[in-house]
């Protein structure tokens, strides 16, 4: 049982919950030298992480199947 974050209805057991991303934000990851360490052929390898840019999830809500269909269609 869970409470839908959109319609505030209590949903019975054995009904799947769906997660919807409501808010995201842009983020820029800096370059990191020797960030990842692993062993290869008994030697320690330290490759560089190139960094980059993308989006992070800020807020996610759990919704019932009916709200998911309604919100996904719009």
Q: Which of 30, 17, 21, 20 has the alpha carbon at shortest distance from 56?
A: 21
Predicted confidence band of residue 31 (pLDDT cuts 50, 70, 90)? confident
pLDDT digits (tens, 9 = 90+) for 7-25: 999 999 999 999 999 999 9
What are the domain boundaries of the chain? Answer: 2-73
SS3 26: strand
Q: Identify the bridge partners of residue 52 per DSSP, sorted by sequence position.
A: 29
Close Cβ partners of 40 (under 8 Å, ≥ 6 residues apart): none
Claim: this prediction has a pTM higher than 0.75: no
Section 28-37 average pLDDT: 80
């Amino acid at each position: 049982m869970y409470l839908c974050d959109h319609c505030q209805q209590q949903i019975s057991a054995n009904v799947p919950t769906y997660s919807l991303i409501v808010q995201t934000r842009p983020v820029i990851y800096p370059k990191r030298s020797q960030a990842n360490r692993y062993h290869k052929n008994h030697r320690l390898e330290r490759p560089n992480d190139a960094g980059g840019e993308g989006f992070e999830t800020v807020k996610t809500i759990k919704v019932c199947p009916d709200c998911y269909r309604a919100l996904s269609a719009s």
